[in-house]
Every structure is written in structure tokens, then in C-alpha cells.
Structure 1
Amino acid sequence: MSSPFSDITDTIFDEKEVLSESYQPEAILEREKEIDAFSHALQDVLFGREPENVFLYGKAGLGKTAVTTYMMSELQAEVTTREEADDLYVHELNCNGKTLFMVVRRLVNTLLPPDASPFPKRGLGTGDAFDELYTQLDRRGGTHLLVFDEIDHLDEVDTLLYELPRARSNGHITDAVVGIIGISNNYTFRQSLSSKVRDTLMETEISFSPYDAGELRTILTNRAEQAFAAEACDSSAIAKAAALSAQDMGNARQAIDLLRVGGEVAQRANDQTVTDEHIEEARKLVQRGRLQNKIRDQTKHAQYILETIAKLEQRDEIPARSKTIQSRYEQVANAYGASPLTTLKSIQDHLSDLHMLGFLIRHERNQGRSGGQYYEYELDLDPLIVLESREEIERSTG
């Protein structure tokens, strides 16, 4: 019996990893202005001086993290050639789902000597963790750049951004200097900080705008030259992927995903070249995958409500009022062995949230004195995708 892989003898990909999310390009394209602003903000590191704090803003997929990784690598290489520069240490942390104590403890543990015991998870407070952090920074000396990705997700972020930038002026550290680099998807993050923090942070702000079609085409052309075998990707397919992504969110990650999935579609069809048609099919697959992830991110009961409305839509029973949705939702929840939410208000709250997130269309009805004012809901997406996503989620968690 032959192997199921025996017929696979060729591939249109050369270096497919170039199209993966984890790939870090050697050169950053179409972000020259942001790189220039970044280098000016960090130039003091080259002369042994305290660096400016830098905050990067922009939606996901616009190059903030890639540019930061590139800049840290380039700065570390440059520091080794400068006599005036102190030793440079870069500490990168993702703040999503972390508490302030967890973040400070992680920093402490990266600075401790190899033979030291880790800072304890329990028994000590955040103040103790900050004290130990200052001790270890001074023990190590040099310049420390603290990179906080998704910093807007951190609880007690005001404390972090008040303590660290003032650590030297407050006498907590004397032999080390610290600079903060914050990365946020939220353009209004600064406004959420306390006035005390905003007044003392003194940061350089770098805003990342969406890519246009021409910029995305440059990025994709560069990636395609590395990722595909010679003449395995048509230039019109690259242009189409760039145009589709520019029309949507101007997101480089999305554009690269389209190119990668387009290549996979072509390969499954045994086609030797990626064309516009493959990119169009990839668009449908990528959209479906993104939507499935959004559904998966919702709470169980929000998912049950989405499944309920999808089933109502298949029966042509939409738009539906919250009372109708509640009674059908209870059947869905019971079918999964879950205890349904007990009040209509809790159902209405979920419906409102799902509407704001773009899952639902809400119709306002006003029947005057006889019927009053109320809302009706229907899906703003394909009900089949919702039901398929729910089946997949239950299979993966069952």
C-alpha cells in the first residue's frame, strides 16, 4: 500500500515561512517615517544618556511590533560600536492577560543572577516586586529598554507608567537608566491615563496608519519573491491581494495571509501559478477564519445566542424580538447541558454587545401606544458560518 504522501513530489513554495505571522523580515518596508522617528527618540542610548519613552499606536497588522523588533536589533548592534554607549538590555513583555504584579515579577526574574531563586509568585506584593526590580537594575547597571506590547491591556497601568519613568529621579536606581516602549492598538490609550502620569511620562508618540494598496503591493512583492518558486506567483495576484486588504483594513498581516492561503489553494488544485482566482478563493477562506476566531472569543452564552439567531434565520423567523430569542436560546443552552441565563435583561445585554461588535443588525420598532418601542435582531453574517463555527468549537472543547 502506497503512502498518502507518495504522490506529493512538487511545491510552488520555496520559503513558505516568509508568509508566516512569526516571520521577522530583515528589512522593514514602507515604514521609513516611523523608523526615522523611532531612531531619533532612541538616539540618546548611543551616548550613554537616559532614553526617551516611546509609544507606538495603531491597529493590529500595521507593523508596530515588527518595527520595534527591528529597531531593538539594530540598536543593540550599533551600541557595540559606540564607546560612549553603556551596555544595553532589552526586555520584551506582552501585557495581554497579565496583572501588574506578574509583569514586574517577570522583569525581576529576567534580571536575577542565574543561581538566584525566582521571585515568589505568592507571599509578597507589587511594592516588594518593584523594590527588587530596582535592586536588580542597579546590580546589572547599563541601559534597559522595557518593551510592553499590548500595554493597554494591563491592569494598574498608571502605577507602572508612574513608577518606572521616575525611578531614577526618585532615587530608586542610581547605576542604571530605564526607557519604556509601549505598543498599543488603542489610539486613545493616552487619554485613559491619569493626568499625573500624562504630565510626567514625556513620551514620543509614533502613530502607524493603515497601508495603502501601493505600499501593500511593495511588501507582498518582496515576500512573494522569497516565498514562491520562480514564476509561481502572478503579479496580478499580488496586486489583487494588496487591493483587497487596502479596501478592508490596510492590514499587512491580512494581505500576507491572502497570499499564503492563495498559494495553498493553487497547490491543492495542482496549479503551477497563483492567480487572481486563487486570491479570491483565499479571501473567502481568510474571512471565514477571522470570523470563526471572533466567535470563539465570545463567552459561551453569547455563542449560544448567536447559534440561536442563526437557527432562527435558517427557519426564516428573523428579525426576532429578544423574548423569542430568549425562549429558543434556553433550548440551545439546555442541549449543551448548560444552565441558561435566567433574566430577559441579561439576554438583552448580550444582544446589545453582539450588535456593537458587528455580529447583529438591530431594528428599532415603534408601535405607539398600542405596542410600545422595542428592538428586533438578525445576523449580519452568514448563519452557516456561525453554525459551522459552533460545531467546530464544541468538537475542540468536548
Structure 2
Amino acid sequence: MSGPFSNVTDTIFDEKQVLTENYQPEKILERDEEIEEYRFALQDVLFGRDPENIMLYGKAGLGKTAVTKYMMTALKDEVTTRDSADELTVHELNCNGKTLFMVVRTLVNDLLPDHASPFPKRGLGTGDAFEELYKRLDRVGGTHLMVFDEIDHLDDANTLLYEIPRAKSNGHITQSKIGVIGISNNYTFRRSLSPKVKDTLMETEISFSPYDAPELQTILSTRAARAFVEGACDESAINLAAAIAARDMGNARQAIDLLRTGAEAALKAGDDCVQEQHIKEARDIVKRGQLTTRIRDQTQHAQYILESVARLEAAGRTPARTRDIQHRYQTVANSWGTDPLTTLKSVQDHLSDLHMLGFLRRSEQNKGESGGRYFEYQSELDPELILDVRERIEHGDTLDNR
């Protein structure tokens, strides 16, 4: 007796995983300049010297994390061939949704021997966690590179980026060396750091620019050669996916999503080759998924403020002044069981960032001596779509929009 899956055949895909976000390519394409900057910044590790601190900037999907994983793997391999290099340990953490205590606790647990009990989640403070971290670093010894992905989402990045780089000069560690690698989607993140942190870091900055269409074509062609069976993807589909992504944000992740989703559209239609029309079908699907990711990538309070503007827009009350948005934001934050930020300046900063990222449209008003000058904001995106995405985020919906 046949079942619902008995007639399923794989007529298009060979290695579909190469079109997923989790796939780590063996060779990084179209990022030679960034890799060279990275290589130069990391070379001291090979000679047993203190590593430089590094900050990577660029929007999501531009290869920051993939290049970092590639460089860490290559560096660890090279260290084993160098007599002058110390033993290297790489710690990789994503800071999105984490508190400072959670990050430091994770670092401590990474350094504990297998038989040891983990550092407690409760009962001790962040200062205790830092003290234990320094103790464990010296017990392990060697060189430690701490990679903090999405560091701009950490609740207290200032403290982390002050404490760890200064651990040796402050006498907290004597038997180990530390380098910090921060990855941020926010180009203005450094401006939010205190002057003493900036002086402490003295970091190398590596900026990742958007891909152009030919670069995306190269990336997609290489992936397609492995992802599809022979003859299952037309070159025109690759070119269209690259062109759409290049015109939008220059985002490799978006281009790859377009190609994969187009292939799935072809499968549903019973076609055995991905063509331009399948990529066009995929465009609307991916656009919604891309917005979900972009909103999810924002900090919790930035999401609340974006939701507040969307609710005002849906009610026909935009463009709105900052104080009106602040009042709605307080209601939104409380509705999700979170204490709102208390200062108008905090709300202004988030509105400015959301404007810079393309979520909001901002206009300056000048009412003269009687009314003064001020900004008004409205959504650049469909407010109903924002509200739908926010609802699903808050209820833990992990399903994509495909």
C-alpha cells in the first residue's frame, strides 16, 4: 500500500545543504581584501605575541561570520605547525539576546574540565563570573581568541570590551593571552562605546561592503554546481537571483535564499529545471522572510519601538513625534511583560538607528519660535507585515515564510 511519501523523488537537488545558512564553504569567494586584512591582524598569534583586537562591520549576509569561521579554522591549523606559537583556543559566542553575565558564564564553562560542575546560573554576580574566567584562563594558558558575534546586541558591551582586553594589564591574568573579535551589523556601534573602551581596544577595523551582481553570480554559480543535479538550474535563474539581491542589499544570504526557494517552487510545479519564472516566484516569499530576519536581528527594545510606530501607522497617526512614539512604546513594552526604557534620549537613539537601517522614514519639522524644530517618523514598511512578524517573534514561531 502506497503512503503519502511513496512517490516523492529528488529530481533537482544533489547537495541541497550548500544552499542553507548553516553551510560553511571550504573556500570563501569574493572576500580576498577582507581576508588579507584579517590575516595581517591575526599574524602575531603565530609568533606567540599578544593578539590584536579586531572589529568587523557590515550588514547581515555579507560574509562576516563565514569569513571569521574560515580564518579561525585556518589559524588553528597553522598554529600546530609553528614552534613559536602558543596553544590556541577559540571561543565563539553569539550575543543576541544574551546578558553580560550569560556571556561570561559561557566563557567560564568553555574552559572548565569535563568532570567539573558548570558555573551556576544563579547566586553569583557578573564580577564573580569574571573572577572565575580569569582564573580558568590562566589555568589553561596559551592564547585565547574570543569571537563575539552580534556584539552590538549585548546589553553591556562596554563592560565586556573594557574588562577582557585589559585583563592582563590589570593583573587579572599572567599565564595567558587574549584577543577580542567583535562582529557587528551596526556600522555605528563603535560610537556607542565609552571613550575608555575605545582607548582600550585599539582594534583593527574590517568593513564588509555589499556584494555586486557579478560577485553574487560567482558565489551562486559555485553553490549551484554542487546543489543541483546536472542540467537542473538554468544560468538565467542564477543571474536573476544575483541581480535581485544586488539591487536590494548586496546580500549573499538573500541571493542564496532566492535560488533555493526558486528551486523549491520548481519542484512544487513539477518542473525539472530552475528557470527565471521560479526566481520571480521566490522573490515575494524571500522578501517576507528577509524582513522577518531583519526585525528579529534588532534588539528587544528596538523591536518594541518599531512595533510602536507600526501601530501608530495602522491607526493613521503618523508621521509621529518622538514623545508620541515613546508613549505608545511604553504601552507595547508593558504588554509584552518588559519594563520600558525610561529616558526620551534612549527612544531617540533607537529611532535614529531604525531610520538609518531603513525601517523608518524621518522628516524634520520647523515650527519657528513657537513650535521649535523636531523630527517626525513613519514606517517605510507595511505596518501590518511588521505587526505580524512581531507577533510571531513574541510567540516563539520559528517557522520561516516558505
Assess same fold via TM > 0.5: yes
What TM-score do the two structures reach when normalised by structure 2? 0.79
Which residue matches 2:233? 233
1:142 counterpart = 2:138: no
1:83 aligned partner, one-letter code? D
Q: What letter is aligned with 2:183?
A: I
Q: Deviations over 1:30-57 (max 9, x none)?
A: 0011111111111111111111111100
Change over 3 Å in CA distance of 1:255–1:101 after alignment to 2: same
8 Å CA contact retained: 2:148, 2:183 = yes
The aligned amino acid for 1:131 is E
Q: Which residue of 2 aligns with 1:100?
A: 100
Matched residue, 1:346: none
Kept in 1: contact 2:100–2:154 (CA 8 A): yes
Q: CA deviation at 1:320?
A: 8.1
Structure 1 counterpart of 2:153, one-letter code: H
Q: Do structure 1's residue 160 and structure 2's residue 157 form an aligned pair? A: no
Please say which structure displays the higher CA radius of gyration.
Answer: 1
Q: Give the equivalent residue in structure 2 for 1:284.
A: 284
1:145 partner SS: strand
Tell me which amino acid in the other structure corresponds to 1:139: R
Change over 3 Å in CA distance of 1:83–1:271 after alignment to 2:
same
| Conservation of the 8 A alpha-carbon contact between 2:46 and 2:85 | yes
Shift of residue 6, structure 1, vs aligned partner: 2.2
**Quick one: distance in 2 between partners of 1:364 and 1:87?**
56
Structure 1's 116 and 246: CA in aligned 2 closer, same or farther, altered over 3 A?
same
C-alpha displacement at 1:70, in angstroms? Answer: 0.5
Task: Map residues 345-384 of structure 1 onto 2, 5 A cutoff.
Answer: 356=355
Pairwise CA distance, 1:81: 1.0
1:24 matched to 2:24: yes
Correspondence 1:123 to 2:116 = no
Gaps of 5+ in 2: 325-330, 337-346, 367-374, 398-402
- Structure 2 CA distance for partners of 1:143 and 1:381, relative to 1, 3 Å: closer
Structure 2 residue 182 is matched with structure 1 residue 179? no
Give, as a single letter, the amino acid of the residue that structure 1 aligns with 2:73.
S
Give the superposition deviation at 1:85: 1.0
Q: Deviations over 1:171-225 (max 9, x none)?
A: 2111111111110111121121111111121111100000011111100000000
User: CA separation of 1:23/1:172 partners in 2, compared to 1, >3 Å: closer, same or farther?
Assistant: same
- Amino acid corresponding to residue 175 of structure 1 in structure 2: Q
Alpha-carbon distance, 1:158 to partner: 1.7
Shift of 1:256: 0.3
* 1:91 partner SS: strand
1:305 deviation in Å? 8.2
Over 3 Å counting, the alpha-carbon distance change for 1:276 and 1:82 in structure 2 is: same
Which has the higher mean CA deviation after the structures are superposed, 198-207 or 356-365? 356-365
CA deviations on 1:365-386 (whole Å, 9 max, x unpaired) are 99xxxxxxxx999976568867
Distance 1:365 1:184, change over 3 A: closer
Question: Does structure 1 residue 39 correspond to structure 2 residue 39?
Answer: yes
Q: Who is 1:57 aligned against?
A: 57
Aligned partners of 1:319 and 1:378 also within 8 Å = no
Structure 1 Cα separation of the partners of residues 286 and 12 of structure 2: 20
Counterpart amino acid of 2:242?
Answer: A
Tell me how far apart the structure 2 counterparts of residues 50 and 230 of structure 1 sit (CA, whole Å).
Answer: 49
8 Å Cα contact 1:87-1:142 kept in structure 2? yes
Query: Residues of 1 paired with 2:237 and 2:159: CA distance?
Result: 49
Go from structure 1 to structure 2 and tell me whether the alpha carbon gap of 1:51 and 1:233 turns closer, same or farther (over 3 Å shift): same
Aligned length, in residue pairs:
367
Gaps of 5+ in 1: 313-317, 327-332, 339-348, 367-374
Corresponding position of 2:204: 204
Cα distance 1:204–1:363, how it changes in 2: closer, same or farther (>3 A)?
A: closer
SS at match of 1:211: coil
Distance 2:384 2:159 in 1: 46
Q: 1:304 to 1:33 in 2, by over 3 A?
A: closer
Aligned partner of residue 27 in structure 2, secondary structure: coil
Q: Structure 1 residue 362: deviation in Å? A: 8.8
Say if 2:254 and 2:290, in contact at 8 Å, map to a contact too.
no
Contact 1:137 1:173 in 2 (8 A): yes
C-alpha spacing 1:86/1:302, structure 2 compared with 1 (3 Å): closer
Contact in 2 for aligned 1:265/1:282 (Cα 8 Å): yes
More displaced stretch, 282-291 vs 81-90: 282-291
Q: Provide the rounded CA distance (Å) in 1 between the counterparts of 2:391 and 2:174.
A: 58
TM-score (norm 1): 0.80
Write the deviation string for residues 284-310 of structure 1: whole angstroms up to 9, x where unpaired: 111123345567888789769858966
Question: Share of identical aligned residues, percent?
Answer: 65
Aligned to 2:274: 274
